[in-house]
A and B are shown apart, each in its own frame.
Chain A
Amino acid sequence: MKNMKKVWLAGFAAAALVVGIAALVVLAGGGPTTATPPMSPTTTATQSISPTTKTIYPLWSTEVLDLSFLNKHSESVVIGRVTEILPSKWDTPDGGRPADVASDAQIYTDAIIQVDSTAKGSVPSRLVVRTLGGKIGDHSMDVEDAAKFEVGEKVLLFLTTNDPSDKTSTNGGAHYSVVGWKHGKFTITSDNQAVRLEVPEQYQKLPLEEVLASVTGQ
């Protein structure tokens, strides 16, 4: 028994010795690690400017979650389908890159909606919905809470002709923006539910009839 104890003690001592030697080796060969600077982005001959990223964080009133608020601030309410998402553009008159991308330049993206029906207001059968944000080459603008669209998606939209930014209002032709951004855009499911994501759970899924009734009062 006593021999066994000594064997265990010897084994433990040997293991501790190995660990200690290993630590010495690491310390001698390493030293403090230094932070590795971020990799330079890949650039092309036409994109020699350092990449820029702009991020917008909106703070919302709780009122924006209510259908009554969306209805109050919308000029039209439509049901339609997303048919196309255009390439993102800079907020310059021709959509091209500004001379100084590190300035207040912003990026926006237009989605084309084929309108199936209108619950409120008068709109063309094919309309443009503009959202702030997008990506052009190495430059991106990330907008928290922007309404996001997918081609083929069936949507219900609370729309306004007010631009999401005063910097994009005169660009391109007539266009709309979504009231409350993600709050005013619903995806219509096959079982006629109106769904919006990234909002508090109790506001995410509503019967389509309920949403329409909030607009028409019927």
Chain B
Amino acid sequence: MSHSEEIMNRRKIGRGAGALLLLALFCVIASAPVSAYSYGADKWGVPYYWSGSIPASWYNSINSAAAAWNNAGSKFAFTKRSTTLDIIGKASLPAGQIAQTLISAQSYRIYKVLTNFSYNVSWSTTGQSGYYDVQNAATHEFGHWLKLNDLYGSSDTEKTMYGYISTGETKKRTLHSDDIAGIKYIYGTA
């Protein structure tokens, strides 16, 4: 093969490779989904309300607990609505239980949630020493409404979903990064 023929061959190979690359690039760009959906930024709300056993002085604490989850940056929100079956109330609970949430589902779909705060302990809305804090406990219980489970590990004590609570404690009011990761995992990031 002469030198000029060799040069011609090289040019042909180069042009061919370039054309292949352009074609490949076109296919990749064409295959990328332009827009499979468009999100309107509004969120469906899970309603909550309270029974007559809840004192009016607790309303702000409960609303603040719901707001903590609403502000976590997920596609989910609690909405206060008086017509809902999902209720927060008070009940006589077994010794040692401060609050309890019961979630009812049928055909694998949740249709009712009930959270009760114990009649048998003393409550405060200010984090007062010797009292269980309403917002602290309510923030934890709202996590169960999302189907987050209790945590009991030694590394979980600072998280909202840690399964134990003490008098005067308020740390559950503020979601830990792992609590936020939990709600985002379930409901997606807004």
Cβ proximity bits A2-22 to B, threshold 8 Å, 1 near / 0 not: 110011011011111101110
Contact B13 A6 (CB under 8 A): yes
Known: A59-B163, A180-B95. A24 touches B101 (CB 8 A): no
Contact A17 B23 (CB under 8 A): yes
Which residues from chain B contact A118 at a C-beta distance below 8 Å? none
Cβ proximity bits B118-142 to A, threshold 8 Å, 1 near / 0 not: 0001000000000010000100110
Of the candidates B20, B37, B92, B150, which one forms a contact with A57 in the assembled complex, judged by CB atoms under 8 Å apart?
B150
A179 within 8 A of B: yes
Contact B27 A24 (CB under 8 A): yes
A interface bracket (residues with beta carbon within 8 Å of B): 35 or more
B70 to chain A, nearest CB (A): 20
Known: A56-B100, A144-B149. A16 touches B25 (CB 8 A): yes
Contact A10 B104 (CB under 8 A): no
The interface stretch among A78-86, A119-127, A195-203, A207-215 is: A195-203
A-B pair number, CB within 8 angstroms: 164
A63 within 8 A of B: yes
Which residues from chain B contact A183 at a C-beta distance below 8 Å? 96
A120 to chain B, nearest CB (A): 16
Complex CA gap A21/B104 in Å reads 48
Complex CA gap A36/B150 in Å reads 29
Give chain A's interface residues, CB within 8 Å of chain B.
2-3, 6-7, 9-10, 12-17, 19-21, 23-24, 26-27, 32, 38, 40-41, 50-65, 69, 73, 102, 144-145, 160, 162, 164, 166, 177, 179-181, 183, 198-201
